[in-house]
Amino acid sequence: QVQLVESGGGLVQAGGSLRLSCAASGRTFFRDTMGWFRQAPGKEREFVGRIRWAGSDAYYADSVKGRFTISADYAKKTVFLQMNSLKPEDTAVYYCAAAPGTDPYQYWGQGTQVTVSS
């Protein structure tokens, strides 16, 4: 089992930055995939990006490319989402998720609210 706890959400003005953290505990492995998702009111959950613990490859949705950066620290069992040049349309609840081994995303954090004001 894996437990995920997110932090770092808050209120920020357009053009500002936030750094989200996701602390993992329980049974984690080097080859696990860690992902970030978001869901805005009235919209479906959206993929933001993902990374393996090793951090060799990271992938991002087109909507956040060039603005968001994912990093991972396996020793600390923590993944980060650095969000720069935030836009009002980035407003959403942000979730981290874990995909153990070759399985699909299975474990989810509670979510943290990010609100970007204009």
* pLDDT per residue as tens digits for the range 17-66: 999 999 999 987 778 899 999 999 999 999 999 998 776 789 999 999 99
Q: Determine the Cα–Cα distance for residues 116 and 40; give it in Å rounded to an integer.
A: 12
In angstroms, rounded to a whole number, what is the distance separating the alpha carbons of residues 2 and 96?
12
Cα–Cα distance for residue pair 28/48, rounded to 1 Å: 21
Write down the pLDDT at residue 8: 98
- Within 10 angstroms of residue 83's Cβ, the number of other Cβ atoms is 24
What is the model's pLDDT at position 55? 66
Cα angle: 87, vertex 74, 66; to 5 degrees? 25
Give me the mean pLDDT over the 97-104 stretch. Answer: 88
